Structure 1
Amino acid sequence: MVSSKDEKGPEVNYVEYATPTQTAEQELTLEERFPNIDKKKLLRKLDWKLLPTLSVLYLMSFLDRGNIGNAKIEGMPDDIGLKGNQYNLTLTIFFITYFLFEVPSNIILKKYSKPSVWLPTIMIAWGIVMTLMGIVHNFGGLFATRLFLGVTEAGLFPGVTFYLTMWYPAENLQLRQALFFSAASIAGAFSGLLAFGLAKMDGVGGLEGWRWIFLIEGILTVVIAVGAFFTLFDYPDTANFLSEEEKEYISASLTYSRKAMKDKNGKTVNFAQDNGNHHIKSALLDWQVYTHLIQYWACLTPLYGLSLFLPSIIRDFGYTSAKAQLLTVPIYATAAIFSVVVSWFADHWGKKAPILLGSYLIMIVGYVIAIAAPATAPGVGYAGVFIAALGIYPSIPCAVSWLANNIQGPMKRSVAMAIQIGLGNLGGAFASNFYRAKDAPHYKLGHGMEIMFIGLGVIAAIINFLAYTIINRRRDADLNSGKHDELTAEELSQLGDKAPTFRYIL
């Protein structure tokens, strides 16, 4: 474990997982090296210390970006004079700036700051912006606040997804990603309930009810952010709730999480964890980042189609605005539970492709039902979007953790994940323009576009699965034939996920 200090920023502590030097100790299993450590007990400790705070942060993030959909059906467009496609433009600009600032934010987090400082700081910033949305009076004001909301929220999701890879080994990661991401679906349920209540404040203080949605939620975000300064931890080596042996165990578990990383003699090869800038270029040029990006578009585009338009979609089935707000709650609550269950199964099974492809299939079924539902049967249309949500929410942690598992090294991983998540969030910009008021109540264009993106995700997932299978088999054959015998342990470690000893998770 080391500390690095960049002359441009504060001292940053991070885990130096291992050196490439082989020792007799490194040939022991984790259980043999750490006989006093109960892995399940330690994982539970990490979960209780890390996930509640991270989940609350993401809950507020998703609540604040999606509550504009709740404000819309409470009269916001008419009150501030939105015309034509101006509402859709305010949705779109959020994702443009979100995309532009995600990679820089992840680099700042990794090289120049600490999670316990950076994440609460950006949260305070977006909480202030959210509060200002409550006092806008025209399209320009709403557009500007949504623009800056994208800038300030950009660092949270990619930052946390990278942060979790510094605490949990690959085989335990997807469930934790799902527990964290379930805050998004909980935010959807909470948003509907909160909007239902706050809309009744219409007239209080001379303000419309939709303004109170932004004001109350913005202030709440700032308050929670201040508390996060005291509840977030940085990395395992500085965590005061861990013993020295537990810190060493976490470091070793991240190194040994891939059982197949052996040389021709069966010795474990540890991978270099340096943070050189060449890893940025390596991430930018890695083919798998872009196939995973397409997969992520297939998840994010439907996600934002629902989160931004679900209240409107349900209302257009023939329900009142108040009832539409409440009917969003069971969809999001069920999706949260389903996402965690599916991710628990995925971590225990150790496979990603089948889970992701299964999620895509569920989405397609849901959207087809929503398109085909007769106008006289609103319950059928509601069931369609309900089913689609059950496919959408489990797909996100699976897509994110699959790439994270197959990228070696913290700097390359942080950049690769920021590219995936940053460009992936352009799916929100796409979805912002899929659902037009004139297409109600079936929204065939919007649902059809979602199906198109899901189809692209299916193709990308199949390509990844086949490519990883072929590469793994080729590396097995090369090692068995002695093709790479001349490479030293240090040379193998520097190759990262391109090393012949590295095995991709399928």
Structure 2
Amino acid sequence: MANLSEAKVSATEFARPAGELPREENESDTASHQGFDEKATRRLLRKIDFALLPLLALLYLMSFLDRGNIGNARLAGLERDLKMHGLDFNVALAIFFPFYVLAEIPSNIMMKRFSPSLWIPSIMVVWGAMCCLMGLVHDFAGLLAVRAALGLAEGGLFPGITFYITMWYRRHECGLRMALFFSAATAAGAFGGLLARGIMELDGKRGLSAWSWIFIIEGAITVAVALFAYSSMHDYPDSAKFLTKDEREEVDRRLEADRSYLDDEFALSYIRDAVLDWKIWVYMLITIGIYSPLYSFASFLPTIISNLGYSNETAQLMTVPPYVVACLFCISAGWIADKHGQRGVYMISANLVAIVGFLILIAVSEPKLRYLGTFFAAAGIYPNVSQTVAWNGNNIGGSTKRSVGIAMQVGFGNLGGVLSGFTYTSRDAPLFRRGHGIVIGLLAMSTVLCAFMRWWCIRENARRDAVDAECGRLNSWSKQEMQAERRRGDQAGFFRYTI
């Protein structure tokens, strides 16, 4: 393998301009030929995909299932048995999220410093146990206490796994992988409805109500998956036993070039850089405008459908088709965005699809048309959850800053879960126009900010190109020049933003 330090490295090797194909589809530049050829690179990526993604998707499926099953439990008699009234159910939803957010940044710092294969399964065991305990509570106060503990335990998974993916794949390979990983959330919605419908047949068994069995059985499944994950989850490429020595070196080479040779060491200064970066805060606002509608939709879809005039049992089953459509859109959007090396335009388009769906829900009263609106809403919301994290991660230089920046983004976005708990209230049934209006407003805010960030990134990339041209670099930096700026992160002159 040729010595990379002997060659000039094109800026596109580590920060591809908008519209250029992913590297495995465009291996024409000099630097790329110093590693695996195109065919070998594709084989390597497929090998990593099959080793990582099925397990990651399964972990997130369990996470989303255990936080969202309270919506199914509601239709199975939860409120009646715990004597919940008024906004009690909304409070039970909302209390999960502050504790979820509290765990995210500390958890990602732990992920950076310690072993993912130990940390992730361990928090899974805890939240699976908490889910089981929810099935044994006898009053509203007990439900609140266990939901808070569940949030604290689950908080590390999503930001941890999204950061973990960025440690295996180049920047414009992450979007599809995050979409495949997050598609488990849509599977959780579909599977949760089917599973809850079946578990409802256990109502009264061993003196427990159907909603108790929903929590206990789904929590027990999570613990079983966690025990399996201890021996099945890999850490980072340099220690991956399923890769050969040459493959591990190639993964390291690709990531080093793609990350612009930026500093990957742990330092408190990079945590400060993340907190003070205004771009991350804009992505945080974009994210809360997506996550709040997501959690509103996921938690209240069974309720919304049951208020169309269907029985609770039928409503559980009717939640499945919108999630199937959402899964297809989620994966397709991730693939297209990676192929074109862009995020913003696809996020704007998906938000507009979701807004159309909620406009249908708010404007019509015919049950069949309103049910159609749930398909548009799901197809628009779910793709953007993975895309917004991929976009932010693409535009943060340095792994420590990126781990903290992703945790900040996901944490702030999950505060939208507090709002989502009060978006749909029983007093607004059966049309829920106020809730739909709130969701439309949040999606509109996210759309405007996506357009702003796309404009700013285009302008900043053009400015840096002009500086390079003025200095005679012609978009070409040597390894030594890049290493001289390795501590500047995304402020380095060679870094280019994903639009």
1:297-312 to 2 correspondence within 5 Å? Answer: 297-312=288-303
Shift of 1:85: 1.2
Q: What is the match of residue 489 of structure 2?
A: 496
Q: 1:281 aligns with which of 272, 276, 282?
A: 272
TM-score by length of 1: 0.91
- Alpha-carbon distance in 2 for matches of 1:429, 1:454: 16
What's 2:109 paired with? 107
Which of 323, 333, 338 is residue 314 of structure 2 equivalent to?
323
Unaligned runs of 5+ in 2: 11-29
Identify which of 51, 59, 62 aligns with 1:60: 62
| CA spacing shift, 1:383–1:155, aligned 2, 3 Å | same
Q: Which residue of the partner structure matches residue 14 of structure 1?
A: none
Distance 2:353 2:411 in 1: 25
What is the CA-CA distance between 1:490 and the residue it aligns to? Answer: 3.2
Q: Which runs of 5+ in 1 are unaligned?
A: 1-18, 259-268
In the other structure, the counterpart of 2:414 is: 425
Secondary structure in structure 2 of the residue aligned to 1:325:
helix
State the match for 1:367 in structure 2.
358
Cα deviation for residue 130 of structure 1 reads 0.4
Which residue is equivalent to 1:449?
A: 438
Aligned length: 474
Contact conserved, 1:55 with 1:181, CA < 8 A, in 2?
Answer: yes
Contact 1:434 1:449 in 2 (8 A): yes
User: Post-superposition shift, 1:294?
Assistant: 1.3
**Identical amino acids, percent of aligned pairs:** 42
Q: How far 1:397 moved relative to its partner?
A: 1.2
Structure 1 segments of 4+ aligned residues over 4 angstroms from their partners: 25-28
Q: What is the Cα deviation at residue 235 of structure 1? A: 0.2
Maintained 8 Å contact 1:30/1:252: no
Residue 15 (structure 1) aligns with: none
Alignment match, 1:41: 43
- Whether contact under 8 Å (1:93, 1:147) holds in the other structure is yes
1:140-169 Cα distance to aligned partner (Å, 9 max, x none): 100001000000000000000000000011
Letter in 1 for 2:325: T
Structure 2: distance between partners of 1:372 and 1:315: 18
CA distance in 1, matches of 2:255, 2:439: 37
Q: Is the 8 A contact 1:371 1:444 kept in 2?
A: yes
Q: Secondary structure at the match of 1:318?
A: coil
* Alpha-carbon distance, 1:432 to partner: 0.7
In structure 2, what is the equivalent of residue 135 of structure 1? 136
CA contact (8 A) 1:339 1:394 kept: yes
CA drift at 1:172 = 1.0
Partner of 1:221: 222
Deviation (angstroms), 1:35: 4.3
Contact 1:58 1:156 in 2 (8 A): yes
For the 8 Å contact 2:264–2:398, the answer to whether it is kept is yes
Instruction: Report 1:20-419 matches (<5 A).
Output: 22-24=5-7, 28-35=30-37, 38-111=40-113, 113-257=114-258, 270-374=261-365, 377-419=366-408
* Matching residue's letter, 1:421: V
Distance in 1, matches of 2:264 and 2:332, equals 32
What letter corresponds to residue 214 of structure 2 in structure 1?
Answer: I
Q: Which amino acid aligns with 2:490?
A: D
Task: State the Cα deviation string for residues 443-498 of structure 1 (Å, max 9, x = none).
Answer: 1111100011111101211111111111111111122222999x954332221210
Distance 1:231 1:73 in 2: 36
Structure 1 residue 40 displacement after superposition: 1.1
- Name the amino acid aligned to 1:493: R
CA contact (8 A) 1:304 1:428 kept: yes
2:435 and 2:486 map into 1 onto residues whose CA distance is 47
The answer for the alignment partner of 1:505 in structure 2 is 498
C-alpha distance in 2 between matches for 1:234 and 1:124: 18
Q: Distance in 2 between matches of 1:87 and 1:108?
A: 33
Native 8 Å contact 1:171 1:257 kept in 2 = no
AA aligned opposite 1:205 = R
Cα distance in 1 for partners of 2:37, 2:91 equals 58
Secondary structure of 2:389's partner?
helix
In 2: Cα distance, 1:207 partner to 1:36 partner? 58
What residue number does 1:439 align with? 428
Answer yes or no: is the 8 Å Cα contact 1:102–1:155 preserved in 2: yes
The whole-number CA distance in structure 2 between the counterparts of 1:214 and 1:490 is: 52
Q: What displacement does 1:305 show? A: 0.7
Q: Which residue of 2 aligns with 1:480?
A: 469
CA shift for structure 1 position 302: 1.2
Structure 2 Cα separation of the partners of residues 439 and 483 of structure 1? 64
Relative to 1, partners in 2 of residues 1:35 and 1:182: Cα closer, same or farther, differing over 3 Å?
closer
Q: Which moved more, 1:386-395 or 1:474-483?
A: 474-483
In structure 1, what is the Cα distance between the partners aligned to 2:132 and 2:170? 38
* 1:25–1:33 Cα contact (<8 Å) kept: no
Over 3 Å counting, the alpha-carbon distance change for 1:395 and 1:365 in structure 2 is same
Instruction: Indicate the residue corresponding to 1:8 in structure 2.
Output: none
Instruction: Give the deviation of 1:308 after TM superposition.
Output: 0.5
SS of structure 2 residue aligned to 1:43: helix
Offset, 1:245: 1.3
Q: What is the identity, as a one-letter code, of the residue corresponding to 1:178?
A: A
The aligned amino acid for 1:502 is F
The CA deviation at 1:36 is 8.9
Secondary structure at 2:304 match in 1 = helix
* d(CA) in 1 for partners of 2:326, 2:212: 28
Aligned to 1:9: none
2: distance between equivalents of 1:174 and 1:389?
19
Residue 20 of structure 2 corresponds to: none
